[in-house]
Structure 1
Amino acid sequence: MRARILDAAADLFLRKGYHDTSVQEVMRAAGVTAGALHHHFVSKKQLGLSVVTDRIAESVREAWIRPVEEARDAVSGVRAAFHLVADGLREQGFVRGCPANNLAAELAFADADFRAALQPIFEEWRGAIARRLVGEGREADEARDLATLVVAAYSGAMSVAKVEQTPEPLLIALRAVEGRLSLAG
C-alpha cells in the first residue's frame, strides 16, 4: 500500500507539481482511504519527502547512475543516459520534465527540507560521473566540474524539452557535452 501511495504521488507531482496536488487526489489515484494514507505518511510534506528519497532518487539511479557506471567509459555512459531518457520521451509522446528538476525548481528555494532531500540526489548523480572521469585519468577538480556541466546541461535541456514538447534539446545538449568531454583533459 505504501508503494502504491508513493507511485500515485510521484506521478501526480510530476504531472501537476507538488503544490497543485492535493492529498485527496493522491488518495483517489492510489485507491486508498485517508486512514491508510496517514498510517504511512503523517503529512503531505512527509509524503513529498518520501517521494524524493524513495522514487526520485531511484529514477535518477536508473536513468543516469547505472548507465554511467555500467558503460565502457564515461562518455559512453553519458551518451547512454541521454539517449535512454530521450528515447523514453519519444515513446511516451510528451515531456513532463525530470522529476528531480521539477521538484527542485518548485521547492528547493522555498523549503529547506526538500532542498536537503534533493541535494544528495544531485551529489550522487554528479559523483557517479566524476568517479568515471577520475578513473579515466581526469584530475578530481576537472572531473567534478565536468560532471556538474553534464548534469546542468541535461537539466537545462530537459526544461527546454518540456516547453517545446520534444526530446530534441536533450540530443543537442548531448552533442555539446560530448564535445566538451572529449576536449577536456
Structure 2
Amino acid sequence: MTQDNTDRPRRTNNPQAMRGKILDVAADLFQRQGYNATSVQDVVRAAATTGGALHHHFPTKKALGLAVIAERVAPEVDETAIRPVATASSAAAGIRNVFNGVADTLERNRAVTGCPLNNLALELSLADADFREAVNSVFERWRIALSLRLHSDRPDMDVSRAHDLATLIVASYSGAMAMAKASQSAEPLRACAVQLETLMS
C-alpha cells in the first residue's frame, strides 16, 4: 500500500537562499558600520539565522568579507558604473549619467554612506593582502572597461592615454564619493560630472 505524502510538511530549508540572505545582510552591515565593527553575531542576528548556518557557507569572517566583495560589491560596480558607460551613446554621456545617477540616488535616500568598494578599500587594503587583491581586482576591472570604451570612442587616442583617463575617472568617482560622505551632499559628484564631460569633449 502506498502512503499518501500530501499531508507531510514540505521541506522549506533553502541553503542557497540563506547564503544569499547572509551576503545581503553582511554587505549592508559592512557598508553602514564597517567590516571591523561588524561581528559575525551581528550578521547572524540581522539575517535571522544561526551561527552554524553562517559557518556552513562561510567558515570565517574573512571568507564572508571576500564573498561580499566578489558577489555583492563587484556586481554593483558592474551594474552602476561599468554597464551604463558600455551601453551609452558615448563614454562621456555614460560617465555623466553614472555620476548624476548616483547623485540622484543619494539625494533620494537623504544619506550618503559612501561607495562600498571605496569603504572596504580604505578599511582593509593595508590590513590584509587577500582583501587588497580582491578590492584592487574590482578597481582594475572597472578601469580596464572604461579604458576600452574610451579607446573605442576615440581610436586615435593612445592606449596609454585612455588608460590614464580611465584612472582619472575612477579616482574622481572614488574621491567624490568620499567627499559626498563627509559632507552628506551629492554636490561633489555633480561637480566632477561637469568637469569630466568638459575634459572629454
TM-score (norm 1): 0.96
SS at match of 1:72: coil
Aligned-residue offset at 1:84: 1.7
Aligned counterpart, 2:135: 118
* Unaligned segments of structure 1, at least 5 residues: none
Q: Matched residues in 2 for 1:111 and 1:134: separation?
A: 34
Whether contact under 8 Å (1:146, 1:181) holds in the other structure is no
Q: Matched residues in 1 for 2:178 and 2:24: separation?
A: 23
* Unaligned segments of structure 2, at least 5 residues: 1-17
Query: Are residues 1:2 and 2:16 paired?
Result: no
- Which has more helix, going by share of residues? 1
List per-residue Cα deviations over 1:114-133 (Å, max 9, x = no partner): 01111111011111111111
Aligned counterpart, 2:88: 71
List per-residue Cα deviations over 1:99-153 (Å, max 9, x = no partner): 0000000001221000111111101111111111111222110100000000001
SS at match of 1:102: helix
Amino acid of the structure 1 residue aligned with 2:171: A
Aligned length: 182
TM-score (norm 2): 0.89
Aligned counterpart, 2:175: 156
Aligned-residue offset at 1:43: 0.4
Query: Where does structure 1 differ by over 3 angstroms across 4 or more consecutive aligned residues?
Result: none
Q: Matched residues in 1 for 2:52 and 2:45: separation?
A: 13
Aligned counterpart, 1:47: 64
Aligned counterpart, 1:143: 162
Whether contact under 8 Å (1:157, 1:173) holds in the other structure is yes
SS at match of 1:114: helix
> Based on CA coordinates, which of the two structures has the bigger radius of gyration?
2
Alignment partner for residue 124 of structure 2, among 83, 107, 132? 107
